[in-house]
Amino acid sequence: MRASSLSPLLPALALIAACGPPAAPLAPPPPLPPEVATTTPTTAEAPLTVAPDPAGTQRIAADITYLASPELAGRGTGEPGALLARDFIVKRFTELGLAPAGGVDGASFTQEFTARVGAKASPPELAITPFHGKAKQVDPAASRVAEGSATDKASGPAVFVGYGITAAAVGWDDYQRGDLSGRIVVILDGVPTPPAASTKAGAERTAPPPPNPLRDFGTIRYKLRTAREHHAAGVVIVTRGALPDGPADPSSMGVPAVVTTVNAVNALIPGLSLTKASTWAPAKSTEPRGLPVQIALATRVDPVEAPAWNVAAILRARAGSAHANEYVVVGAHYDHLGHGGAFSRSPGSHAVHPGADDNASGTALVLEAARRLHALPRAPDRNVLFLAFGAEEIGTIGSRYWVDHPTVPLASVTAMINADMVGRLRDDHLLVDGTGTAAPWPELARAADEKLGLDLALGAEGFGASDHTSFTVARIPVAFLFTGVHDDYHQPTDTADKINAAGEERVTTFAARLALAVAERPERLVFVDAPADPHRGVGGGFKVSLGSIPDYAFTGAGVKLSGVRPDSPAERAGLRAGDVVVKLGPHAITNIHDYSFALGDLEPGRAIVIEVERGGAKIPLQIIPAPGR
C-alpha cells in the first residue's frame, strides 16, 4: 500500500533505494498442477460455489515466504527483486492454465511501462569569493546537491537568513518579508531549538518540555520553496551533521541548492561564526544579513527511470454466456520498498523491507483466488481478469497505466476487487471499502461471508491509498479488502513469519466468492458515486481536505488531478479530472511537494482561489476547504 502526503495513512514524498548484501535465498514453492475446468453447463446444475480449502493456508504461506524472502530484497520498482516477483507470478498463472492478458493481442502475461524511480545528481559546484579576494572552490566531497534542487546555475551576493523559516502562526520569519532577488541565501539545516525552561536550583522538571512549534518546518524542500517565494536565486544549506545521500526525487522546487558542512565553509564566510553554538540557537527569528562574499553554484539532477510490469491473466467465461464479453478484475500490487527510502517508516534505514503484508499477502490472495476459481466445475458467466500491478508504492503507477492502456475494453469491466495488506487478520476484522460504488455490494459481501465468520466493516468510499482508486476514477465499481495497518507497515519488520496465513485463507475464500458472485449476476454492477464518509478523515494528516486526487504519474509542471471525490470541496468548486493545479492561494504549484506545503497553510472554511490549467487556459476557481483529520 502506497504512502503519500495526500493519503490517509502516512506522509512521504520521495523514493530512493540503496542495496545491501542479501541473505541466503529461499527457494520458491513447488509448482501447482494445473486443474481443468469444464465450460459446458449441465441443464440442472447447482450454483457455483467456492468452498474453504485448508490446504490453501499452506500455499498462501509458501507464496508469501518466497515473495518476502531476502532473494527478492523488497521487490523495489526497478530492482532485480521486482523482476523475480514478476516472473514468479507469470509462472503461477502459467501453471494454472490461465490465458495471458498482458497485451491486447493476448500473447504475453506482462504489460511493460516506465516508472520514475529516483534521481541522479552530478557533483555540485560551489565557489565562494570574498568581495576583495579570489574565488575558492568548496571541496566537492564536502557538499551534495540538495533534495528538490533545480538543475541550474546561480551566482550573486550572499545573504544569511538563519534557518530559512517563515511561520507566521508562531511568530517566526527569518526573511522579514524581504525580497532577495538575485541573492544566494545561506540557511542553517534543521530547526532552532527553543530555549530550555528555567528551573530553580535543585528542582526537578515534573513535566516534559512542550513540543517545538517549528519542528515541521525543517525539511529541505520546505526551505527551498520558501527561498523561491522570496525570489532567491540559489540556496546553500549548512549542516552540522552528516551530508545527505542526495536527491531521491527529481522534481524541482525551482532553485538550485547545495548542502555543505560547517567545516567546509566556515572559514570562507567571514563573520558568520558557524562553529558558535549561539548561531544555531537563536532566541528569535533572524533578520536577513548580507555577507561579504559572492557565491556561485551549479547543480544538475536527472530523473532515473526503470522498466516495470503489470502481470495479467484471464479465466475465460463459459462458452455461450450472454456476458462473455464482460470482465471482473481481481487485483493486487506486488512491488514494495526494496531497501527503504523516503517512503519507509524507518528513516535512514537501508535494510531490506520485505513487504510480507504489503503486499506479498495481496499477491498471494490473487494467486490462490485464481486457483480456486479455475477449479470450479465450469467457467463463470463473465471473464475473471487477474491483475498483479507494479509500481504501486511510488504512486499507483501500474494500475493507472493499465486503466489508461487497458488490455481488455475498459467499458466491459464490470467491477474491480483489490487486495492490499490482507495478511494480518485480527479478531476476524476485515474492511471491505468501496461498497458505496455499486448498490449490490453490501448484499454481495454479506453473502460471500457465509460460514466464514468474518467481522465485516463495510466502507462506502472507493478512494484510498491503493490501486482500486485508479478504477474508481474510471467509474468502475470497486471493493477494497484490507485487514488493517500495524506497527510493521513500511518497515523492515514486515516479515513473513507474522502473517496469519489461516486468516488470509478465509479472506481469499471471501474474495473468490465475491468475484464469482459478480461474475454470475444476471445484471452487471452499475457504478454510483459513493457518498463521502463523514467519519473518515481524508486530509492525509492535514487540517483541511479538498477532495482532490493527484495523478502521481504526472511529471509535468503543476499537479494533475486524476479525479475529485464526490461532494467534496474540489467538486463543488468545479475542479475536474485532467485539471492541472498551478496555483493555490498565493503559492505557485510546481509539483506535489508544493501542493502539500500549500495545503498545510489553508484554514477550514476560509475560501481561497485555486488556479488550474484546462484546455490551454488558466482558470481561477474559488474553493472552500473542509476540515481534514
**What are φ and ψ of residue 136, in 5° steps?**
-125, 125
The answer to whether residue 331 sits within a structural domain is yes
Same domain, 375 and 333: yes
pLDDT at 204: 56
89 and 141 both lie in a single domain: no
Same domain, 510 and 397: yes
Same domain, yes or no: 315 and 291: no
Which residues of the chain fall short of a pLDDT of 70? 3-45, 194-209, 532-542, 629
Cell 477494497, residue? 480
Tell me, yes or no, whether 25 lies in a domain: no
Instruction: State how far the Cα of 239 lies from the Cα of 323, in Å rounded to an integer.
Output: 64
For residue 290, the number of C-alpha atoms closer than 13 Å in the C-beta half-sphere is 11
Residue 501 exposure: Cα atoms within 13 Å on the Cβ side: 20
Residue 184 dihedral angles phi and psi, to the nearest 5°: -100, 120
> What are the pLDDT digits (tens) for 88-109?
999 999 999 999 999 988 899 9
User: Residue 34 to residues 56, 376, 380, 432: CA-CA distances in angstroms?
Assistant: 15, 12, 18, 31
CATH of residue 170? 3.50.30.30
C-alpha 397, offset from chain centre: 9
Cα–Cα distance, 460 to 578 (Å, whole number): 24
94 and 224 inside one domain: no
| CATH number of the domain bearing residue 607 | 2.30.42.10
The answer to whether residue 22 is domain-embedded is: no
Q: Is residue 503 part of a domain?
A: yes
In this structure, the answer to whether residues 313 and 393 fall within a common structural domain is yes
pLDDT for the residue numbered 170: 86
Is residue 506 within 8 A of residue 452, CB to CB? The reply is yes
pLDDT, tens digit, 9 for 90 and up, residues 531-577? 765 445 444 556 888 999 998 888 899 999 998 988 899 999 999 99
Same domain, 295 and 346: no
Same domain, 317 and 450: yes
Residue 537 lies in a domain: no
Query: Residue 602 and residue 584: Cα distance in Å, rounded?
Result: 9
What is the per-residue pLDDT for 105? Answer: 87
Closest C-alpha among 276, 282, 228, 220 to residue 255: 228
Domain final position from 267, 283, 299? 299
pTM for this predicted structure: 0.86
Residue 419 belongs to domain spanning: 76-115+304-520
Within this chain, do residues 482 and 377 fall inside the same structural domain, yes or no? yes
Q: CA of 336: how far to CAs of 23, 79, 97, in Å? A: 18, 10, 27
Q: Tell whether 199 is covered by a domain.
A: no
Does residue 201 fall inside a structural domain?
no
Do residues 280 and 346 both lie within one domain?
A: no
Identify whether 33 is part of a domain. no
The upper half-sphere exposure of residue 104, i.e. CA atoms within 13 Å in the direction of its Cβ, equals: 7
Same domain for 160 and 250, yes or no, is yes
Opening angle at CA 181, ends 179 and 186, nearest 5: 85
Kindly tell me the burial class for residue 136, based on how many C-beta atoms sit within 10 Å of its own C-beta (0-12, 13-18, 19 or more). Answer: middle
CATH code of residue 328: 3.40.630.10
Residues 168 and 249 placed together within one structural domain of the fold:
yes
Structural domain count, the chain: 3
